Amino acid sequence: MGDESTFQPFARSGLLRRAAPFVGAMWLALVIYPLPPHGGDSRALLPAVVVNVLILVAVLIVPWSRLGPMAAVLPPLAYLLVVALLRDADGGGSSAYGALLILPIFWLALYGSPQQLAVGFAGLTAVFVVPILLVGAPDYPSSEWTRAMVWLCVAPIIGFTVQSLVREQRNRAEENLRRADELQVSQEETRKLVVSMAAVTEATRELARTTDAKVAREIICAAACTVTGARFAKLMERSPDGELVMTANHGLEGGPPLTVAPADETSGAGSVFRSKKPLFVEDAPGDDQISQRVVLATGAVSMHFEPVLRNEEAVAVLVVGWNRRVDESSRIAASMRMLAAETAMTLERSDLLARLEEVARTDDLTGLLNRRGWEEQLPRELARSKRHKDPLCVAMLDLDFFKNYNDQRGHQAGDRLLKQSASAWARELRASDTLARYGGEEFSVALPGCRLENAKDIVERLRAVMPGDQTVSAGVVCWNGRETLEELVGRADAALYEAKRMGRDCLVAAGDTPPGELRSVL
């Protein structure tokens, strides 16, 4: 992230790379807002668009470097207002737009100071607490306090953890610079050391500014080649089946990913992974310590294997290779140790980001995919169906009289019903099926490889296992291979509303027919 006193998150240099994921998510939320079931409600859309545009304009034209450091917190706070507007118009506390509240917190964690992040948490607190106090039920019932407390407990943990990782990388870069002054080497070695340290420092800064795990791994490999003068560098990580798989490389473009099985063949990466100690091989061809298959595939003459350790456990191996014979030097060994430490932090941050992404796609009540996760998964199912020419059915389910259930038994009982329903349905579905909480008491199901008749049987099984003698209405459709995602979900939604119009507690199915020609399956 750079020095907190000089780094400007809205500086033009690298702004597109830093802001692109966040801007994409901001506008995606507005693009999907007109979709059912709230497509006709535009009371929040125009203000949200206006505030979004003002945020982008301010980021581009305001001279942030001349303002105080706390000024940079204004765009994230403004986006909290955008999410609050969309959330309020989309049903209040039950809105799926609440997941977007993580974006400004994540931005401040990556590119802000602790003080700026604390202001962001204050804004997040206001987004949750003010509606409960001023608006109240039914959009913001008292049960929303639980959601608010979960968010306000988890968000600081996530935010300060991410910020701590970024700060560690900055401190490590400063430590690298100090080490360059302390090493007592020859003039030529010193010159090479400075070049190496500058490359490591630049790599550290680049790592602090990217949230793309693939790009971060490639930065490490490129830096390894720069600081060692190697022809190639590769990062080998352990796969679930125990093999070491190349997850990134520099200088080996065009070939398939290299994989070694430590249990089945001699491998330098495998032995280093087990021993947690570095290995340098001056003459790789014919050396029985390393895989000759890898030597032939890479054309390596000399190789260095450096373990990547996290909490004293090996998580990967950083490998460099030269197409000439080289002598191991203290500079190369020191540079590889530093890069391995940076790699460990990069992998840890990648794991954290993956967990954050998972949280953003998961409904916190039921543990199912949320609306965002559903809208990311369904296009994959459509593409797979089209590629393999397999049928695909989509169902929408809505718990009958759920509001009355909540009013009579309380919101905690309503939450239990939602969780029990989700759990009962998940047990009835296959591993290839997708079950998501679409919003409120409405759920969606994707059934790949199912024709309409099979899909109806599955949905009827779901209806039959409803807990507590409650009932559910459902609509199911089969993709015709031509319609868009929005059209497919729209037909399923129309079938669901037809079931509700017919008195609820039934299933309405639509094949390749328009919504107006639905037939009821009672």
Among 132, 166, 200, residue at a domain's last position: 166
Q: Say whether both 224 and 147 belong to one domain.
A: no
My answer on whether 21 and 158 are in the same domain is: yes
Note whether 296 and 427 are same-domain residues.
no
Q: State the total domains in the chain.
A: 3
Does the residue 55 lie in any domain? yes
Write the pLDDT tens digit of every residue in 354-381: 777 778 889 989 999 999 999 999 999 9
Q: Are residues 22 and 120 in the same domain?
A: yes
* Residue 121 belongs to some domain of the structure: yes
In this structure, the answer to whether residues 457 and 425 fall within a common structural domain is yes
Q: What is the pLDDT of residue 7?
A: 60
pLDDT, tens only, 392-425: 999 999 999 999 999 999 999 999 999 999 999 9
The alpha helices in 8-101, defined as continuous H runs, are 15-32, 45-61, 74-89
What per-residue confidence (pLDDT) applies to 488?
95
Looking at the domain assignment, is residue 190 inside a domain? Answer: no
Q: Residue 182's pLDDT is what? A: 62
Q: Model confidence over 126-139: pLDDT tens digits?
A: 888 888 888 888 87
The secondary structure of residue 431, as a DSSP letter, is T
Q: Is residue 171 domain-resident?
A: no
Domain endpoint, select from 355, 380, 403: 355
Return the bridge partners of 469, or none.
Answer: none
378 and 327 within one domain: no
Cα separation, 278 vs 150, in Å, equals 44
* CATH number for 480: 3.30.70.270
| Same structural domain, 391 and 473 | yes
Residue 3: pLDDT band (50, 70, 90) is: very low
Q: How far apart are CA 317 and CA 122, in angstroms?
A: 42
* Same structural domain, 108 and 231: no
Same domain, 308 and 380: no
Higher pLDDT, 32 or 299: 299
In which band, very low, low, confident or very high, does the pLDDT at 42 lie, cut at 50, 70 and 90? low
CB burial readout 416-436, b (16+ within 10 A) else e? ebbbbbbeebeeebeeebbbb
pLDDT at 491: 94
- Both 121 and 230 in a single domain? no
415, 492: one domain? yes
The DSSP symbol for 256 reads P
Please indicate, yes or no, if residue 437 is contained in any of the structural domains.
yes
Residue 160 and residue 20 in one domain: yes
The more confident residue out of 389 and 94 is: 389
> Structural domain of residue 276, as residue ranges?
211-355
